[in-house]
Amino acid sequence: MFRSEYLNNVYNDFLKKNPAEPEYQQAALEILESIEPYVMKHPEFEEKKLIERFLEPERVVQFKVVWTDDKGKFQVNRGFRVQYNSAIGPYKGGLRLHPSVNASIIKFLGLEQTLKNSLTSLPMGGGKGGSDFDPKGKSDTEIMRFCQSFMTELYRHIGPDTDVPAGDIGVGGREIGYLFGQYKRIRNEFSGVLTGKGLSYGGSLARTEATGYGLCYFTLEALKKLKNTDFNNKTVVISGSGNVAIYATQKATALGGKVVALSDSNGYIYDPNGINLDVVKQIKEVERGRIKEYVNRVSGATYTEGSKGIWSIKCDIALPCATQNELSLDDAKLLVANGVVAVCEGANMPCSLDAAKYFIENKVVFGPAKAANAGGVATSGLEMSQNSMRLSWSFEEVDEKLHDIMVNIFNNSYKEALEEGNEFDLLTGANIAGFKKVAEAMLLQGI
């Protein structure tokens, strides 16, 4: 599998230690394949067991979350916090609330987060957490009781200089508010222990928009460098209709693109005239409804049941912003046959590894998640700075810093890709650029 015998042994051992964890195995394989040329230049890694140490989370916490629903019935869920790597700063990464959440998914996300946070050049280690709780269809008070119960255990593992969680799938401003309120109550402490907070209690302007905006800044930079083009007059397809998808739609449109499709886990909408984002925001952010409702409000739009079909729509730019493994090799072939120019990942690991490789082979601009969607955590880092300094920057200041960070992430990934001999291989570039700093910090700190 690997040219390096060392990596073969490490990965085989990793598979034995983490059986039945397909997402975690997939993420580790992708990273190891990418960093292999760098590892081979550093024989001291083997002696110091650096890769084995890198692939072992520093701490994995699993706990029960018991709460009562509106009918007074007891409910039991499982909570997780994986503190993956703190070599370059306090653990940092989101909380995901979705029925699919398990140890494999949280570990894969924690591993990815470690390299992503390193790429931002801010001092943040990697972590991730969540629960198999399904927020869909729950009342506000049920969400609150769940969040309070979740934090009643989580609080002992986190802190502004230890581990700073944020949002992810199913966790937005409302959930962060309830989690923060409970942390403050238990600790009697008002601190920057979570990011993605409301503006009235320490949140940062532009945090809500940051992942989607950052994705478009990265895509634009890559389009300019690799294809000498931009978003102008490009047809864009975006999957999902949550936080990342909505603000990617907003920025892609502002940059001159026409977004024609969005989805949720039930199906996708197609609007040849360009998505009306006000309607989407009303449905998703205010009413918390389903995306199919869009076609009842906008004439000329159609809805198709089943979310996978979205990649059959002809487009120049595809931005998968829903969830892991939502874009397969067959989807990649369809997109390439339809002339796609760029595919940049808003979600974490939305493309299977063979799909990602197919894009790179076909000289499609491919923006890997840990680089392309790092804008969210970067802005969380900026929120932490503002909290520590007890001040707040304007929207424009934060947006400008976000833009600079995304350009910097692209440049660093591009530089490493060039060094490895393929300027289109930003996957290798991002993995090496992110890993270098973590490896150096781990070595300097001893065991």
Write down the catalytic residue from 116, 128, 258, 284.
Answer: 128
- 223 — phi, psi (to 5°)? -60, -40
The letter for the amino acid at 200 is S
> For ligand NDP, which is the closer residue by CB, 83 or 195?
195
> What is the Cα gyration radius of the chain?
21
Give the residues lining the site for ligand NDP (CB under 6 A): 167-170, 211, 239-245, 263-266, 307, 321-323, 326, 346-348, 373, 376
CB of 99 to ligand NDP, least distance (A): 10
CA 67 – CA 75 distance, rounded (Å): 5
> For ligand NDP, which is the closer residue by CB, 50 or 147?
147
CB of 291 to ligand NDP, least distance (A): 7
Q: Is 128 a catalytic residue?
A: yes
CA 433 – CA 273 distance, rounded (Å): 40
CA 405 vs CA 95, 202, 215, 366, 426: distances in Å: 23, 22, 11, 18, 16
CB of 2 to ligand NDP, least distance (A): 28
Please check whether residue 59 is in contact with residue 49, taking contact to mean a CB–CB distance below 8 angstroms: no
Q: Which residue is nearest to ligand NDP (CB)?
A: 242
Comparing CA positions, the residue from 316, 346, 341 lying closest to residue 424 is: 341
> For ligand NDP, which is the closer residue by CB, 39 or 317?
317
CA 212 vs CA 57, 174, 377: distances in Å: 28, 19, 12
CB of 81 to ligand NDP, least distance (A): 16
Helix ranges (DSSP H) in 352-425: 353-361, 369-372, 375-389, 395-419
Which residue in this structure is represented by tokens 């029960």? Answer: 64
CB of 5 to ligand NDP, least distance (A): 34
Active site residues: 128
